[in-house]
Structure formats: C-alpha cells, structure tokens
Amino acid sequence: VNVVVAAAAAGLAGGVALIAVTLVAARLVGGLHRRRRIDLRPGIELALGTFLVDEDAEALTPETRAERDVFRAVALEALTELRGAERARLAALLVRLGFADEAIHALGARRRSARRQAAEALALIGGAETVSALREGLTDRDAIVRGTCARGLAENDAAGDIVGTILRALERDAVLAPGGAAAVVLALGGHRPAAVGRLLAPNVGPELRVLAAAVAGELRLSEHAPLLRACVEDDDDDLAARAARGLGLIGDSEAVPQLLEALRDNGRSADVRVASAGALGSIGDVTAVRALEWQLRESGWSLRASAARGLALLGSPGVDALRRALDSKREDVRVQAYVALES
Amino acid sequence: VNIYVTIVFAYFLAFVLVHTVVLVLAGFELNRHVGRGSETGLRRIVRSPLAPPISVLVPAYNESAGIADSVRSLLALEYPALEIVVVNDGSTDGTLDRLITVFDLRRVERPTPPFLPHAAVRGVYAPRGRLSLLVVDKENGGKADSLNAGINFAAYPLVCAIDADSILEQDALVKTALPFVDDPKRTIATGGMIRVANGCRIERGRVLEARLPRAVLPMFQVVEYLRAFFGARTGWSALNGLLIVSGAFGLFRKDVVIAAGGYRTDIVGEDIELVVRLHRTMRDQRTPYRIVYVPDPVCWTEAPETARVLRLQRRRWHRGSLETLLIHKRMLFNPRYRTVGMLALPSLLLFDVLGPVIELSGYAVATTAWILGALSPETFALFLAVSVLYGLFLTLGAIALEDATFGRHPGWDDLGRVLLFALGENAGYRQLLHLWRLEGFWQLVRKGEWGAMERTGFAGADVVGPEAEVGLP
C-alpha cells in the first residue's frame, strides 16, 4: 500500500508543480504582452482618432507584430461604433494596410478561434474586397463562423443580391444555432428589410419564420404586415404569437379580423390569445371591444389581464366596458378592470 | 483497519476520478466560452429590441441600510428591457419606508396573480416617475416565499433571482442572458460567477475596485469559490448536470419555474432544490433543456467574516443538500435522469454530504489505529500527503483556469495570497467546515426538525450553495 500511495503522492506533487510552473510562466508571458499592449494602445488610439477627424492627416502604419495586433483591435472596436464616411474611411485604411487580406487568409485556418476572429473582422470591414471570402465562409463547418459571415454579407452593401444565398445558409442554422441566425435576420431587417418578407413565406421553416416575425414587428416593418397576418393563421403557435405581437407593434388595423379569430379560438395556446388581445388594444380598433370584454369576464388570469389592458387602450368604448366590469360578481374581474382604468 | 483502508482508498479513487474529469471538462468549457467571446452577433441581439425582457427579483428583509443603493445600481444595469421587483418580506426596520421615500413610490392597485402561493400581500407600490420598479409589500414568509411572490408579479418572461445585498456588474445580465438568446427553446436557467466582495472598494452599490479580503475567513472562502465555480460548476454545466444556480444570482424562464411549482418554502436549500426539480420535471416530460453556468458575469456578495455566521451558513447549506437528496431520492442512480441521476446527484451524496463523515472518521480511525500499532506512521503520512496534494491540485487547476481566462486578480501578491490560503485551508479550516456540516446533518435527523422549520426571513442569508465547498474525502 505504501508504495502505491507514495507513487500517487509523487505523481500529484509533480502535477501540482507542473500547474504552478505553467501558471507562473503564463503570467509572466501574458504580463509582458499585456504591458506592451497597454504601452502601445494610447498612441495608436490617438493616431487613429486624428486620422478620422482630420482628412489630411497621414495614417499610422503599424510595423511590428505587436503594433499590428493592437492597431487591429482598436480599429475593429472603432468600426463597431462608427457610421457613414468615417467608417468607410477606416475600413478602407484597414484594407490598404492588408488587414482584410490577413483575415481572408485566416478564414481558411485550421483553428476555429482564428476563423471566428477572421470572420468577425471581415464582417466589420465589409466592402467589395471581403464579399467572396464571406461567401466562402457560409460553408464553414463552424456555425458561429457561418453566422458571422452571413451577418457580414447582410450588412455589406457591396455584396449585391446575396439574400438567396444567405437564406439557404440560414435554413440549417435556424435550428442548429438559433441565436446566430437571429442576429443575421436582425441584420437583414436593418439593411435589407425586403429580405425579411422572403423569410415569412410559408415555404420557409418555422424557426426562421418565427425569427422573421419577431424582427418585422420589432423593427416596425409595416410592408410585411400582410405576411404577418397570414402567420397569425398558421398552426404553429410560436409563429402566430410572434406575428400577433408584431402586428400590434406595427398597428395594422387590417389584421383585426385575424386577431379576433385567434383571440376567440379556444384551441390556440394562451400565448397566442394573450398576444392577440394585446395587439388588438395596441391597434386601437373599437370593433374589438366586445371580444375583449368577453375575455375579461370569462377567461383565465393572463388572458383577462391582457384583455383589460387592451380595453384601456380602446378609448371611451373600452373604458365603458371596463366600468361595466366593475360591477362583476367576481372580485378578480373587478380588480383587473380597476387596475386597467387606473392606468 | 484493512477493510476501512480499502473503503477509504476506493472512495478516494472515485473522488479523484470524478473531480479530475469535471476539472478537465471545465477547462474545455472555458476554452469554448472564451472562443465565443468575439461573437458580437449574440451581443447585438441582447442589446436590441429582440432581447428577452428580464424581471430582477429582489427579496428584502430588514435591508433598510443598503436597499436604496442596491435598487439604484440595479436600475442602472446595462440591459434594454428590465424591471426591478423588490419584495419586502415583512421587514421591521423601515425598509419599505426607505424605498417609498427614495423612489417617490405611491400605493397602486394590483391584483395578486395566482400562479404560485405565498404569504399575503399587504400592498403594491410603484414610482410616480418612469422608473421600471415595482415594490411588493407582503407578510413575512422567508426568501423562497418572497421569490414566489416576485415571480407572480414579474411582468417579463425571464426572472433573475438575487439577494438584496448582491452587487451585479454592469453587463452581468447581458452575459447571463446570452444562452437564452443562443438557444431560446432549450435554455431554462443560467447562473453566473459569485465573487467575494469583502475587501473590495464599494460605493453606492457598485464595486469600484476588486481587491482580495484582508480577513482570514473570507480569504479561505475566496479559494473555495474559485474552486467551486471555475472547477466544479463549469464542468458540471458542460455535462448539463449543474445542480445549483446560486440563490444570489440566477436567471430562470418564468413559465418553466411556475410549471415546476416555484420555490419550496418548507426547506432551507430552496435554490438547489428548485434546480434539481427543474431537471426532474424536464426529464419526466422528456423535454430537451439545458441549465447553463456562464463563467464571466459576476455577482459580488459579502462572505461571512466571523466563525459564528460561517458556521450557520455551512450548516444551512449542508441541510439544503440533504433535504434535496431526500426529496429527490428517486432520481439517485436512476438512468432516466441521465447525468443528473447517474453522476451529479450521486456525487453530491458521496462527496458533499458524506464527505465530512468519511474524512472526519478517517482521522479518528487512523489515529486510533496508529496508537494501537495497526497503522504505520508512514502510511498515515502518505495518505495525508495524497489528500492534501490532490486538494491543492484541484485548487491550482481552478486558479489556473481563472487566470488564463478572466484573470480578475492579476497582481503577484494576490496570486501568492490565494496559493497560501489554498495550502493553509488543509490545516484546520477544512476540518472545521466538515464539523459544521455534520452539525447541519445532525439538525436534520434530530426528531421533529424535519418539516417543522421556523422561517423568520433571511436576514444575513447568503445562499450560494453547497457546491461552494468541494472538500476532500
């Protein structure tokens, strides 16, 4: 027993020593890098700032590897904040200094983290030089690289008619990486709003349609209201609820019949009916008063609360309905009506 | 003695195997997490109107001294859709009056939603201005009861449970919400890193400078927290076997918590019990899900500085683990519950709950055997050395992971102090913790204790959870 335990102790002592040495060595090396970055950063920030505000200023040319690393980091951070001509100028500088080429090369690297960073850099730099690399990135084996490239293309004005290609890439990733896909749809909504309509079509997968309905509503893309109305009638409750909320945000009065039908449909999930009640209130069409009043008196807690809030938004007919509810025999109906009136 | 040595040896091997695997998995998971750091797509979503709205629940019992600063710092958190729901749990020190004065609150009519049961609500208050704040004043019922009330009144689909004295970093919610954006259908709960605030420079509810504590007991707890969060929780999260989302900072899907029945109010370990119940409910329903530990959003909490408070805390944690195991004993070694049933809960039972028994009895048996001549001093010393070295190995591994990823304590003197206390905890601190945990065990088995617990609020409560201690066998 002693021999076995002694061997274990020796092994553990070795392991502990190894971790301790690695920890100290990594700290020393990391500290050196960090100090070098800290020393370089203010100068590079100042030079880049001067370059951006003064059109006649000469651009800093980073030479050493450390300078290039810090320059890239500062410039990419700035690109996320900048808009318009300043952004275009900085992106052009990065292309001129070879950072775009570096990233295009790194997009073919074996290391996943290198490819992810490269995709992020290319998506931020944008421009015609990055389009073909970003398109290639759509077939990468890593979902994050694919998503970043798709987002970069969606935001890249030089990419031309790229929507079909992005949609094909999105079909798979809406299931595998829904968060990344949502970021792409959000980018499409901001830069190519018409493309969101293509994602709402019935032949598209339900996951993508849900994302598109959310983006269309939140970005108030009223041109897609007809497609959202069709989505309210879809069998998928997630999609119908998202579309109902979106129609409420847009304020689409033509959606009232579909929303009323969804509200009255007992076979629908509570989420769809609550979203429909809220949307009817936001749209402000008084034809919804009777249906909402009925829900206020007869349905479950969440739907009743939503109906009361909706009625409060419908002007005097809604207020009259809430006042009538104050005479209800049920205390919770009276309280909901009172709270809605108070609001 | 030989039989006992064999049992202890087998137990130690199992301990080493499980904890080494979990530590290695934590390394991979942290590497994966850091690798995603540059992904700005998800961060854009969390800062966009598509971000899932969050209700932050702040149960408060006699917190009048710090509640205003806490709420102010929560209202200033970086998140696009946020409401703060403070639940005053029958405070007797003027907590409600302080809130009414500072935030210009007025009493409003609000029906009490019926989703979860809780003590009677005395009134609901909202600010006259546009602050996204709601204060629910209710009869005293304890922290779990207050959280249930907060969940009922929460307007948003995600609820973040925190302690009134927790301090969240500015972007903590953004980071904690990322898994809900990344995988909205499957993610049901996330938790972040809890760090010890003792010694930090804190002003108006914000940590201005992160420093290590000067006092001895909090320093030991820094070591424990590093080991528990970077070693244990990250690794278990990779296996979807996370048993605890800290009561001091956890984000949950409201509909799932309501469907599971909310927090239990008749036990002390309501945070660990809820998470285990969520695992159980989702597995029973055969619904794909994940409970995620996110290592970089930071919540600062004050660790006990005196032995008396620490003793109470550890007794409570141990009792919480035991209660959870008793309530969910059917999950133990049950393949239906996969990682949780086959690995995480058995690990909790063997190493967390029985660990103190095994280690303390080991000292007694070894000493007796040594005195009787049945155990050589060399064997005893070797076992002790292996035990200490493996503890150091786990701690150093966790420190190395933290250093390589987030490096919150970059100074060499900080590293030196952490290492010193990692070594020093073997000389009495760990044994003392085991004794206190045994007291928690004793409390529970004592006749009449079970099911008849008095709840008088949660003054001084600091619910981080039993996994904070990854002791040695």
pLDDT digits (tens, 9 = 90+) for B421-471: 999 998 889 999 999 999 988 888 875 443 333 333 333 333 333 333 332
Angle at Cα B323 formed by Cα B318 and Cα B324, nearest 5°? 100
Range A191-217 average pLDDT: 94
Range B29-55 average pLDDT: 83
Ramachandran bin of A36, using left for φ above 0, alpha for ψ from -120 to 50, beta for the remaining angles: alpha
User: Do A179 and B183 lie within an 8 Å CB cutoff?
Assistant: yes
Q: Which of B132-146, B202-216, B364-378 is predicted with the least confidence, judged by mean pLDDT? A: B364-378
User: Do A2 and B378 lie within an 8 Å CB cutoff?
Assistant: yes
> Which residues in chain A have Cβ-Cβ distances shorter than 8 Å to B385?
9
pLDDT digits (tens, 9 = 90+) for B71-83: 999 999 999 999 9
Range B132-146 average pLDDT: 97
> Which residues in chain B have Cβ-Cβ distances shorter than 8 Å to A120?
38-40
Range B34-40 average pLDDT: 71
Q: Which of B36, B44, B400 sits opposite A144 (nearest CB)?
A: B36
Nearest-Cα distance to chain B for A56, in Å, is 32
Q: Which of B41, B50, B108 sits opposite A215 (nearest CB)?
A: B50
Are B399 and B418 in contact by the 8 Å Cβ rule? The answer is: yes
Nearest-Cα distance to chain A for B383, in Å, is 7
> Which residues in chain A have Cβ-Cβ distances shorter than 8 Å to B113?
301, 305
**HEC secondary structure over chain A:** CHHHHHHHHHHHHHHHHHHHHHHHHHHHHHHHHHHHHHHHHHHHHHHHHHHHHCCCCCCCCCCCHHHHHHHHHHHHHHHHHCCHHHHHHHHHHHHHCCHHHHHHHHCCCCCHHHHHHHHHHHHHHCCHHHHHHHHHHCCCCCHHHHHHHHHHHHHCHHHCCCHHHHHHHHHHHHHHCHHHHHHHHHHHHHHCHHHHHHHCCCCCCHHHHHHHHHHHHHCCCHHHHHHHHHHHCCCCHHHHHHHHHHHHHHCCHHHHHHHHHHHHCCCCCHHHHHHHHHHHHHHCCHHHHHHHHHHHHHCCHHHHHHHHHHHHCCHHHHHHHHHHHCCCCCHHHHHHHHHHHHC
Give the Cα separation of A218 and A231 in Å (integer).
Answer: 16
Residue A34: how many CB atoms within 10 A of its CB? 13
pTM: predicted TM-score of the whole model, two decimal places: 0.90
Nearest-Cα distance to chain B for A113, in Å, is 6
The DSSP code sequence of B265-334 is: SSSS-HHHHHHHHHHHHHHHHT---EEEEEEEEEEEEPPP-SHHHHHHHHHHHHHHHHHHHHHTGGGTT-
Query: What pLDDT does B472 receive?
Result: 26
> Which residues in chain A have Cβ-Cβ distances shorter than 8 Å to B156?
none
User: Do A186 and B182 lie within an 8 Å CB cutoff?
Assistant: no
Query: What pLDDT does B471 receive?
Result: 28
Query: What pLDDT does B427 receive?
Result: 87
Query: What pLDDT does B466 receive?
Result: 34
**pLDDT > 90? residue B343:** yes
pLDDT digits (tens, 9 = 90+) for B209-259: 889 999 999 999 999 999 999 989 999 999 999 999 999 999 999 999 999
> How high does pLDDT run on average in chain B?
89
Query: What pLDDT does A40 receive?
Result: 94
pLDDT grade, residue A76 (50/70/90)? very high
pLDDT grade, residue B359 (50/70/90)? confident
User: Do B115 and A301 lie within an 8 Å CB cutoff?
Assistant: yes
pLDDT grade, residue A342 (50/70/90)? confident
User: Do A16 and B393 lie within an 8 Å CB cutoff?
Assistant: yes
Range A290-304 average pLDDT: 90
Q: Which of A2, A120, A180 sits opposite B379 (nearest CB)?
A: A2
User: Do A339 and B403 lie within an 8 Å CB cutoff?
Assistant: no
Strand order of the β-sheet with B121-127 is: B105-108, B121-127, B133-138, B82-89, B54-60, B158-162, B249-253, B187-196, B290-301, B167-168
User: Do A179 and B115 lie within an 8 Å CB cutoff?
Assistant: no
Q: Which of A2, A186, A301 sits opposite B50 (nearest CB)?
A: A186
> Which residues in chain A have Cβ-Cβ distances shorter than 8 Å to B383?
5
> Which residues in chain A have Cβ-Cβ distances shorter than 8 Å to B407?
30
**Count of A–B CB contacts within 8 Å?**
117
Query: What pLDDT does B448 receive?
Result: 46
pLDDT grade, residue B38 (50/70/90)? low
User: Do B42 and A20 lie within an 8 Å CB cutoff?
Assistant: no
**pLDDT > 50? residue A27:** yes
> Which residues in chain A have Cβ-Cβ distances shorter than 8 Å to B5?
1
Range A23-33 average pLDDT: 91
User: Do B114 and A301 lie within an 8 Å CB cutoff?
Assistant: yes
> Which residues in chain A have Cβ-Cβ distances shorter than 8 Å to B44?
183, 186
Query: What pLDDT does B39 receive?
Result: 63
> Which residues in chain A have Cβ-Cβ distances shorter than 8 Å to B391?
none
**pLDDT > 50? residue B473:** no
User: Do A151 and B41 lie within an 8 Å CB cutoff?
Assistant: yes
Give the Cα separation of B59 and B457 in Å (integer).
Answer: 10
Query: What pLDDT does A59 receive?
Result: 72
Are A304 and A333 in contact by the 8 Å Cβ rule? The answer is: yes
Range B403-410 average pLDDT: 85
Query: What pLDDT does B37 receive?
Result: 63
Percent of chain A beyond pLDDT 70? 100
> Which residues in chain A have Cβ-Cβ distances shorter than 8 Å to B389?
9, 12-13, 16
Q: Which of A112, A148, A301 sits opposite B113 (nearest CB)?
A: A301
Percent of chain A beyond pLDDT 90? 80
Range A317-339 average pLDDT: 91
User: Do A27 and B403 lie within an 8 Å CB cutoff?
Assistant: yes
**pLDDT > 50? residue A96:** yes
